[in-house]
Structures are given as structure tokens and as C-alpha cells.
A = this chain, B = another copy of it.
């Protein structure tokens, strides 16, 4: 097998985020579950919610896409596969991820409908984000669109649980895992969101039990949801033996990793003010995966993840705004 040319190759929904500030009353009135992601199933539903939204700002997003943007910002080599439509927001997504230095060559879908995916993100004064995703073109990523060479050229293939929602990308994910496995590459997977887990728990458990995942990312709520328990330690204990490397983020309580029965914990990075938590998990994964790709210890990889998460929650939007590479160099020399 040849040496990998990329540190991380990710597959995910190709989404443009629309961020607006709101208050808790709005979240309650709309019946949203704060801090989670819900799917909007029609253009009409998406437009009705957008009409109620305040002044927005558009920034490229998508969970796994944010992660590879972070990897590139840290100086890593990254590639992305995701489906946009041939429209203005699709052009924005493609421009931004390439401008960040990520290889992105998935051909835009030329059908006029649906349009490029967008995520309406309501940010409350506490910095929490509540997401409403219109998957649009993203749900039509076909297995045929997978760039086998790119997947085989990545040391780690990174997949987001969110892609399990629509049928076509789900099939593409399975194909991608086969391709990566066949090339002797590692597979990393994020559980994405509690509601996403409740929709696909059996599939996610099976992925782990089949040994398809080398590195699993989850936050506290997700690891508990996966195990259908409210006991965090029990959830960690139940999942750790099923995966070579388990990484769990705990917001202000820091993060932990368990590999081969050994547990490592790091504290959260200090931060002045949480402005917007959008992308915190995505950028944590970027830092951790880059650390692993650079041959750092699990502890240092966790620290790099925590640093990237701290940067992203200190401003609006889920793509890095400072030179993460310089930040990392300052910390690790």
C-alpha cells in the first residue's frame, strides 16, 4: 500500500449555514429542542422558518466539512466529498472549502431542484446553537460520486452520522468504508447528534460491532443516547471496548479518550465568552485528528482538539478565524 497523500478525507453534507441571533422564547415558541439539529423536510418548511428568522449571515458549514476546514487550517492535508447543487450557495460552499486549501471535486448537481443544503442556525444569548437543516441537494450524494482514489489516499476517512439520514449518502458511506478498509486506512466516525442517533441507533451500533470504526467521536449526550442510558460513565464503559479509540467531548468539562483500556482526560481550554457553539464538536475533531495524523500522543491530540473548539466558540460561525497552525505551534512548539 502506498503512503497516504492526505491526512484526512471526509464525507459529509455540503451545507451553507445561515446564522441569526434569537432569544430563548423563540426557540420555545417554535418547539425546537435547544442545542440539537432537526431536519426540515420541504422547501416550504425551510422558507417559512427563514421568514421568521432575523438578519442572517451566511457562512459555509456542514459538520465534516467544518472538520476538514479545521484540519487544513492546522496545516494538515485534507479532502472533502459532498453534494452541492449548481447554484449560488453551491458556488459559495465550493469556493470556501477550496479557499481553505481542502481538495474538493464532487461535481455539482445540475438539476434546478433541490437547491444546495442550508442550515438555519438560531444562536441564543448563552451561545448555544439550535439547527434546522434543509438537506436539499446534499441528500442526493450517490455512491457513484465517491472519488475512490481520494478516499484511498487519505490516512483517515472521516464520516458524519448526519449522512445516515438520507438513503443515497448512507449507501455511499458504506461504499466509502469498504474503499478505505480495502486500502488499509482508518475510519473515524462522529455520532453527530442525539436525534440523529435515535433515528439510526441500530445502524451505528452495528458499525461499531462490525469493527468498521477505528476512532469514534461523541459528546456526553450522544454517548448516553447511543447506550440508552443517563449514566455517563456506564455509557463510556459500554462503548469503549467496541472501538480502538473512543473520544468523548464534555463541553466545559473538557474531553476524554480511551484507547486499549487506557483513559486520558484533558480540561477545556479557558475562554472569555462563549459567543456561538456552532462547530465546537467539528473543530474538536479537526484538532484531534490532525494531532493523530501528526503522530502526537492521545493527550496532545485531545489538547489540540480543545484548543480548536475554544477558538471556534469565541466567534460566530463554524470555520476558523485565526491562524490555527500558528496557535498550535505556540502551544506545542
- Where the two chains meet, the residues of A that have a C-beta atom closer than 8 Å to any C-beta of B are 20, 50-51, 53-60, 69, 87-89, 92, 95-96, 99-100, 115, 317, 319
Contact = CB atoms under 8 A, between A and B. Distances in A.
B58 A99 contact: no
Given A87-B88, A88-B87, A57 B55 contact: no
Contact of A88 (B20, B53, B115): B115
A56 B61 CA distance: 12
Q: How many copies does the complex hold?
A: 2
A302 B127 CA distance: 34
A99 B57 contact: no
Nearest to A97: B55
Contact of A58 (B20, B58, B115, B319): B58
Nearest to A85: B88
A53 to B, nearest CB: 7
A50 B317 CA distance: 20
Nearest to A321: B21
Contacts of A55: 60, 69, 96, 99-100, 319
Contact of A95 (B56, B59, B96): B56
A58 B56 CA distance: 9
10 contacts: A55-B69, A55-B100, A56-B92, A56-B99, A57-B59, A58-B58, A87-B87, A87-B88, A88-B88, A88-B115
A323 B50 CA distance: 21
A51 B98 CA distance: 9
Contacts of A53: 95, 99
Contacts of A96: 55-56
Contacts of A100: 55
Nearest to A58: B58
Given A59-B58, A87-B88, A88-B115, A95 B317 contact: no
Given A50-B95, A87-B87, 12 more contacts: A53-B99, A55-B60, A55-B69, A55-B99, A55-B100, A56-B95, A57-B317, A58-B58, A58-B92, A87-B88, A88-B88, A88-B115
With a 10 A CB-CB cut-off, give which of A54, A55, A57, A95 has the most chain B CB atoms: A55
A136 B99 CA distance: 24
Contacts of A88: 87-89, 115
A256 B87 CA distance: 46
A105 to B, nearest CB: 15
Question: Which 3 pairs from chain A and chain B are nearest by CB?
Answer: A58-B58, A88-B88, A57-B59
A50 B54 CA distance: 27
